[in-house]
Structure 1
Amino acid sequence: MLSFIAKRIAAGLVVLCAISFITYFLLYFSSASIARNILGELASQEQVVELEAQLGLDQPLLVRFITWAGDAATGNFGVSWFTTEPVVTAITSRLPITLALVIVSIIFIAALTTALGMAAAVRRGWIDRMVQGAAVIGDAIPSFVMAIVLVTVFAIQLKFFPATSSISPDSPGSAWVASLALPVIAIVINGVAGGAQQIRSAVIKQLERDYVRTLRSRGVSETDILFKHVLRSAAPAGLTVISLQFIGMLGGVTIIEQIFALPGMGSLAVQATTMADIPLVMGVVIYSVIIVIIVNLLVDIINGWLNPKVRVS
């Protein structure tokens, strides 16, 4: 198991380095007018050239990347070129909001998809038809459309929830619940349908296996078969779906955060990208990639524990 984890960590580090260089390379072509944007149109050419030298924009790409990578390896991502706020401070003040939104959503999605998927696979009938129909509807309606409907009805018209949010990591729990309730509902409604369909298919596939018939012939109860054997065997497929949804949500909550005015990573990424604030963009990218690597590692470890064949492969 240790060698299995070490290989996954090594692969994650390679991905992190590759994405870092590719992102920095792409941002290199957008840095021509950054000094002018910071100083304004009234700044002289001499002032622009001086600021470019201070920011290192006059250096070759490889030199700039090596300098940035060396600092980033020690945890120093620099400061925002436009606000002078340390990149780590800007990210850590917003990351908890995005993570809370995504983690709470994925917990509800995992619980509901497992329950609905297993019910559809075992009971069939109207539950099965409902899950399959909901999967089609869920794929057809984006989460941001559902978010707009929810904020219009429950926040603007009924005023059950705040239409906008200004929560921070030190806000009280009641403010977090009120601010995240509608965004979580919008994400869960969109994510449950497709996930339940995947769980349904995985459970049906396991129920058709020979070992299930053998367990039934030995008098093992249906409850034990479902929860001790079938669910464990179907779990890797479900975990893969959940992990993909988590990763997709991490990048897709940008629109949700904009709709509900949540001060999370999405709004920070939009702001940094619009201004071509390279240190801030790189910080957002690196933090996001690290989270994705950690999630994939945890899923691989759990899958390896559930199915030893995964560790061999």
Structure 2
Amino acid sequence: MFLYVLRRLSTGLVLAVLVTAITFLLLSTSFNNIVRGRLGPSATPETVRAMKADLGLDRPVAVQYVDWLWHAVRGDFGVSYFTSEPVGPAIAARLGVTMSMLLVALLATIAVSITLGVLAASRGGVPDRIAQGASLFGYLVPNLLISIVLVVVLAINLELLPATGYTPLSENPGAWAASIAIPVFALMVSSVAALTAQIRGTMIDELRKDYVRTLRTRGVPSRSIVLRHALRNAAGPALTVLSFEFITMLGSALIIEKVFALPGFGSYAFEASLQGDVPIIMGISVFGVLLVVGMNLAVDLVNGWLTPKARIF
């Protein structure tokens, strides 16, 4: 198992290098525009050349990337072009906001999807129609539209939740929960739709298999058959969908955090992209890849624990 984890982490590091290399290459085509955006439209060509030399952007692209990579490996991601803030600590500080929101959204998605999917597959009828209706709603309605409706209803009309802003968990747990409630729900909707549909379909297939009929003839309680046997065997495909949904949530955080003025990883990436702040964009690329690799590794380990036949370590 240790060797398997080591191999996956090594693969993740290689992927991070490839992603950052491609990202840096694409950014290099707009270095002149980035410098002009920092200096203003009245900047002369001489001023632009001087600024590029000061930032080290006048060197060959390959040399710049290798220099950045050498510092990044040692934990130095440079400083922001616009605020002179160290990139590494700035991303780490904002990552806590995003991860707290994503973890709550993931746990809530798992709880709701398992409940709806299992009830729909094992009981049919009304629970099945509710699960299918929830899935259809999540597929058809955009997250951003749901966010706007929830803000209007819950924050503006009813004044139950704050429309924008963020309160750290360490300061006030209740205010923290209120500040992320609407963003979490907006992140959950499409993920619940996908995961519920997957669990429902896989559970229906599992409950039709011979081993389930055998367990029933032996007098095993239905609850045990559904939760201990069928659900465990159906977990593999559901976990795969969950890993994809995590990536989707991470991407959606770019917009959701900006809409709700949350000082997280996503809004930081959004602002850096608009400004062309190369050090921040590069640092975000690294952290983003590592988050995805870590999530996929966690899913594989949990899948191997739940279904021994799926173990590859």
The TM-score, its normalising length taken from structure 1, stands at 0.94
What is the DSSP-based 3-state SS (H/G/I as helix, E as strand, rest coil) of the residue aligned with 2:31?
A: coil
Structure 1 residue 111: deviation in Å? 0.5
Task: Check whether the contact 2:232–2:306 (CA below 8 A) recurs between aligned residues.
Answer: yes
What is the DSSP-based 3-state SS (H/G/I as helix, E as strand, rest coil) of the residue aligned with 1:52?
A: helix
The TM-score, its normalising length taken from structure 2, stands at 0.94
Structure 1 residue 136: deviation in Å? 1.5
**Counterparts in 2 of 1:1-313, with a 5 A limit?**
1-168=1-168, 171-312=171-312
Task: Check whether the contact 2:135–2:193 (CA below 8 A) recurs between aligned residues.
Answer: yes
1 CA distance for matches of 2:92 and 2:270?
16
Structure 1 residue 218: deviation in Å? 2.1
One-letter amino acid of the counterpart of residue 266, structure 2: G
Change (3 A) 1:308 1:10: farther
Per mean C-alpha deviation after superposition, the further-off stretch among 222-231 and 61-70 is 222-231
Structure 1 residue 222: deviation in Å? 1.5
Change (3 A) 1:310 1:168: same
2 CA distance for matches of 1:166 and 1:123?
41
One-letter amino acid of the counterpart of residue 216, structure 1: R
Per mean C-alpha deviation after superposition, the further-off stretch among 35-44 and 141-150 is 35-44
Count of residues paired in the alignment: 313
Per mean C-alpha deviation after superposition, the further-off stretch among 161-170 and 20-29 is 161-170
Task: Check whether the contact 1:121–1:201 (CA below 8 A) recurs between aligned residues.
Answer: yes
2 CA distance for matches of 1:128 and 1:168?
39
- Which deviations, in whole Å up to 9, do the C-alpha atoms of 1:95-150 show, x marking residues without a partner? 11111111101101100100110000000112112211221121000111110000
Which runs of 5 or more structure 1 residues have no equivalent in the other structure? Answer: none
Per mean C-alpha deviation after superposition, the further-off stretch among 254-263 and 160-169 is 160-169
Structure 1 residue 296: deviation in Å? 0.4
2 CA distance for matches of 1:166 and 1:6?
37
Structure 1 residue 39: deviation in Å? 2.5
One-letter amino acid of the counterpart of residue 131, structure 1: A
Task: Check whether the contact 2:166–2:180 (CA below 8 A) recurs between aligned residues.
Answer: no
2 CA distance for matches of 1:46 and 1:108?
56
Structure 1 residue 34: deviation in Å? 2.3
Task: Check whether the contact 1:96–1:169 (CA below 8 A) recurs between aligned residues.
Answer: no
> Identity percentage over the alignment?
43
- Which deviations, in whole Å up to 9, do the C-alpha atoms of 1:65-101 show, x marking residues without a partner? 1000000001100000111011112212211111111
1 CA distance for matches of 2:38 and 2:89?
21
2 CA distance for matches of 1:44 and 1:254?
34
Task: Check whether the contact 1:167–1:175 (CA below 8 A) recurs between aligned residues.
Answer: yes
2 CA distance for matches of 1:84 and 1:276?
14
Structure 1 residue 170: deviation in Å? 5.5
2 CA distance for matches of 1:63 and 1:20?
14
Task: Check whether the contact 2:35–2:51 (CA below 8 A) recurs between aligned residues.
Answer: yes
Task: Check whether the contact 1:151–1:260 (CA below 8 A) recurs between aligned residues.
Answer: no
Change (3 A) 1:310 1:17: farther
CA RMSD of aligned residues (A): 1.8
1 CA distance for matches of 2:7 and 2:88?
28
Structure 1 residue 293: deviation in Å? 0.6
1 CA distance for matches of 2:195 and 2:90?
34
- Which deviations, in whole Å up to 9, do the C-alpha atoms of 1:226-262 show, x marking residues without a partner? 2221111111122112221111101112222122111
Per mean C-alpha deviation after superposition, the further-off stretch among 115-124 and 299-308 is 299-308
One-letter amino acid of the counterpart of residue 239, structure 2: L
Task: Check whether the contact 1:143–1:187 (CA below 8 A) recurs between aligned residues.
Answer: yes
Per mean C-alpha deviation after superposition, the further-off stretch among 30-39 and 263-272 is 30-39
Structure 1 residue 166: deviation in Å? 4.3
Which runs of 5 or more structure 2 residues have no equivalent in the other structure? Answer: none
- Which deviations, in whole Å up to 9, do the C-alpha atoms of 1:18-61 show, x marking residues without a partner? 11111111111111232222223344433322221121111111
2 CA distance for matches of 1:136 and 1:294?
30
2 CA distance for matches of 1:99 and 1:166?
13
